[in-house]
Each structure stands twice: as structure tokens, then as C-alpha cells.
Amino acid sequence: MNKTYHIITFGCQMNERDSETLAGFLEEMGYTYTEDPKTADAVIINTCSVRENADKKFFGVLGQLKNPHEQRPGMMVCVCGCMMQQQRIIDTLKAKYSWVDLVFGTHNMSEFPRLFQNASEQKAHLVDVWQDGKALAEGLPARRAYSYKAFVNIMQGCNNFCSYCIVPYTRGRERSRHPEAILNEIRRLAAEGCKEIMLLGQNVNSYGRAGQIEGGYCFEKDEPHWDFAGLLRAIDQIEGIERVRFMTSHPKDLSDDLIACFGDLKHLCRQIHLPVQAGSSKVLKEMNRVYDRQQYLERVRALRAACPSIAISTDIIVGFPGETEEDFEETLSLVEEVRYDSAFTFIYSVREGTPAAAREDQVPEEVKHRRFNRLLETMHRIQEEKSLQYQDTVQRILIEGFSKTDDTMLTGHTESGRVVDLPGDPSLIGQMVDVKIVKAQTFSLYGKLLG
Ligand code: 5AD
Ligand code: SF4
């Protein structure tokens, strides 16, 4: 009988993309996807460690697999991803979850078939985690989550060391894929009918800059001499790709040349995710973000000058150590000034091993929560105002599938990244259509097909 697999993914799009590769490997080994992890022959949990919540959720989900694993000899439970790059997690797994079959990290994912094979033959707890990565592996399989839009990894790792963030420790140093490998992947996707590409990296706009990783692309020494803007211009020429997006960008690396792309390129969506993290220059300095409030606002002005309709979203952390009421007010006033289209808002979470975790001036939990709620109120008000502006407008949408909340409706995104649900024939899935927005609510838009 066919063997089945299930993958549980926590965290960001990078993890989602990695899980597509793991699924590709398992399918090459003859496994087929199943909805239910408890009855699967192989389960992989791909973890995230950016905030403490994700840690807790992981152990909860893992614990639920213990019984099925005991009852079904031969079931393989594997864990991987960012959490595995931390020694204290490995120690906990060894001490309390020794029944787990395979533990691997973010740097040796391309070794998965061999590791999986070894673990299933030995029937012993196999832990293989590397401290840092090499050049990114090419030619790996993938089972893509969607057929009309695709994640394409262009670089990995982060050299920024923001003082609150664990990612540089779990994903290692920045390394970029060669432009030809990226373009070939996108050409292949276009030939298969893919219309929208999301370029992924922890810091896409420093693409090609860090040449110190052997085998990684560096635009100063390798041909062609393309930085991120150059790469975008080349992608824009690929026949069949109608939309290009990217995330995440660091404001300090948002060059004028890249900003000009939003005015010039035909297929680049007029939308950018530009994490600010805080509105106070003092907090930004302590976060090691390398820009201050004024410099960030200047980049926003430059973006809007090049492309007045651009939608801007952001990430904000409240309750960073030492954040005063005045600092927090500055975050609120920055939000009012920029008027973001959307924002991911986070309560600061202590990440062991980062400089901010060692600070003694941590903000009390109730203060963090109070500030968080105030920020949400402000964000929701702005979002509602922005949302209402869509009423009766015509939006171009890529129909991606069925609505998450009502499977009799179709769904897609506007160029600005807003979800629109609409009635329509399933044969439209995969097509770009014009839609009139007939109902605009704070978090959802409803449309009607035109023509
Ligand atoms: N606490 C809270 N939020 C964090 N982020 C990263 N590290 C932390 C942390 N320790 C947020 C940042 C980042 C997003 C992916 O997660 O806003 O941009
Ligand atoms: Fe973390 Fe900062 Fe790197 Fe983003 S840029 S991954 S927040 S260290």
C-alpha cells in the first residue's frame, strides 16, 4: 500500500517554501500527501523560533504525535527548521522526546532523503544539525502549494543581527543563489502556467551582496553584475509572469535604484513590505536597525514619489526592553504618519542568546499588552479607512482558488495584496480578471466579475 506523509509548518514563507521541498523529496520516495498527521507514515514538523509562542506550539503538536507513534510501528516522526539550530532545544528533545526518529536543521535540508533513509533503517534517534550553511543547493524537487503562484527563494540567512532577533543564529549568514538559477526556475514555472512569483529571502534587497560564503553569488565578483534591482529587471522580462512580489526588505538596503523599479517595471506589484519595528530613533538604535525614524520616513516618501499608489505594509514590535511610554507614542505617531495598508504587530518576545534578552530593563507583561492593544486599535482604524477606499473601484485580480471562509466563492489578491472573494466559475482559477469591489470591510473585500 502507498505510504503517506504530512508536514506541519510553523513560521514564515521561507519555512513554507522549505516544506514544499521536503514534500517534493517525500513524493520522489513514493509517499503521497494525507490530511491527517496521526495516520501518516511520515510526519515532519518544520519549526520556527522567531517568538516564544512558536516554541510552545511546537512542543504541543509534537506531544500529540507520541501515542500514534507508539501505536503504529514504522511511523516516522521528523523535526526540523529554526528551532533545531538551538542547543537547548536539542537537549530538550534528547531528554524528553527521544522517541522522535529524526532531527535536522536549516542548513542540511537538502540531505533529507539520506537522513530519512538512515533514520528509518537504524530505527534510532538520529540528530544531524549543522552550525552554518554552504551555498544554497540547486535542483531540489518541490511539491508547490499553489499552481498559479509560487515562492522562489533568492537568498537565505541574515547578517543584520537586530538585537532582538534569533534568525541570524538559526539561518546563518547571508548567501544568494546565482541569478541564472533563479531565472531558470522562474522560466520553468512560467512554462508550467505560473503567473505570480513571490521572491523570498530574510533580506532580499541585500541580494548578492555578501560574497563571503563559498559558492554563493556575489554581484561584485560574479557575472552578471546584478544586485536585487538588476535581478528584478531581468525577471520582469520573463514571458508569462504577470506579477512579481518580494519579501522581506530591510529599509537600510532599500536603494534608489530599487525604488525606481516600482515606477518602471511592468510586472512588479505596487506593494512593499518594509518592516519598521519601532517609531522611536532611540529604540531603533538599540534594536541595531541602522536607520532612524527620519531616514525610514524619507524612504517611504521616496517610494511614494516614485509610485504614488504603492501599498506599504510593515512589522512592528512593542515592548522592546527599555521602551518608554514616549517611545511607544512615537511608534503610534509613525503609524499615523505612514498610514500602512497593513501591519504585523508583535509583542516583544525574549529570545535567549540575543543581546536584548540579556537586558535588565524588560517591559512588564501588562504594559506590553496594553501598548499592543492600543497599537492594534490605531492600525485597525487606519486599515478600515483604507479598506473603504476600495469600495466601487475596479481591481485586477489573479484568481487563485476557493475562498478560505466560503468554498462556494473564488478568491484572489489585488495588486496591493488585499484578498478579494467573489462568486464565479471555477474555470477562472489561474486567470487574471477585472473585478468591481461591491463590499469593502476592514479585513475583507467582496467583488463582482466585470465583463
Ligand atoms: N519578539 C517579537 N517579534 C520579533 N520579531 C523578530 N524577533 C522578534 C522578537 N524577539 C518580529 C520582527 C520581524 C518579524 C518577522 O518578527 O518584527 O520583522
Ligand atoms: Fe531578524 Fe533583523 Fe535579520 Fe530581519 S533583518 S531576520 S529582524 S536580524
pLDDT at 1: 65
- Judged on CB neighbours under 10 Å (0-12, 13-18, 19+), 223 is exposed
Q: Round to whole Å and give the CA distance between 245 and 310.
A: 12
Q: Is 317 helix (H, G, I), strand (E, B) or coil?
A: strand
Q: What does the pLDDT average to over 342-371? A: 97
234-244 per-position pLDDT tens digit: 999 999 999 99
Q: What does the pLDDT average to over 374-378? A: 97
Buried b (16+ CB within 10 A) or exposed e, 148-182: bbbbbbbbbbbbbebbbbbbbbbbbebbbbbbeeb
Ligand 2 pocket at CB < 6 A: 158, 160-162, 165, 167-168, 202-203, 250
Output the pTM of the full model: 0.94
Q: Is residue 125 predicted with pLDDT exceeding 80?
A: no
Q: Is 261 helix (H, G, I), strand (E, B) or coil?
A: helix
Q: Ligand 1 pocket check: which of 12, 14, 48, 50 to mutate, most ligand atoms within 8 Å of Cβ?
A: 50
Complete DSSP assignment for 152-171: EE-EE------TT--HHHHH
Q: Round to whole Å and give the CA distance between 420 and 80.
A: 34
Q: What does the pLDDT average to over 143-167? A: 93
pLDDT band at 123 (very low <50, low <70, confident <90, very high): low
Check if 349 has its Cβ closer than 6 Å to any atom of ligand 1.
yes
Order of strands across the sheet that contains 32-33: 32-33, 4-9, 42-47, 76-81, 102-104, 126-128
pLDDT at 136: 80
pLDDT at 54: 84
Which ligand 2 atom lies nearest to the CA of residue 158?
3
> What is the Å distance from ligand 2's center to 273 Cα?
13
Ligand at minimal distance from the CA of 354 is 1
CB-CB contact of 382 with 400 (8 Å): no
Q: Round to whole Å and give the CA distance between 335 and 343.
A: 9
Q: Is 342 helix (H, G, I), strand (E, B) or coil?
A: strand
Q: What does the pLDDT average to over 73-86? A: 95
* Sequence-distant (≥ 6) Cβ neighbours of residue 439 within 8 angstroms: 391, 445, 446
Q: Is 107 helix (H, G, I), strand (E, B) or coil?
A: coil
- Give Cα separations from 377 to 293, 322, 370, 383 (angstroms): 22, 23, 11, 10
193, HSE (Cβ side, Cα atoms, 13 Å): 10
50-62 per-position pLDDT tens digit: 998 888 899 999 9
Ligand at minimal distance from the CA of 171 is 2
pLDDT at 432: 95
245-291 per-position pLDDT tens digit: 999 999 999 999 999 999 999 999 999 999 999 999 999 999 999 99
Torsion angle in degrees (nearest 10) through CA of 344, 78, 198, 211? 100
413-445 per-position pLDDT tens digit: 999 999 999 999 999 999 999 999 999 998 889
* Out of 12-21, 118-127, 177-186, 361-370, least confident range: 118-127
Q: Round to whole Å and give the CA distance between 361 and 363.
A: 6
Check if 49 has its Cβ closer than 6 Å to any atom of ligand 1.
no
Q: Which three cell numbers stand for residue 410?
A: 473564488
9 prior amide bond cis, ω within 30: no
Q: Ligand 1 pocket check: which of 16, 52, 165 to mutate, most ligand atoms within 8 Å of Cβ?
A: 165
pLDDT at 219: 86
pLDDT at 213: 63
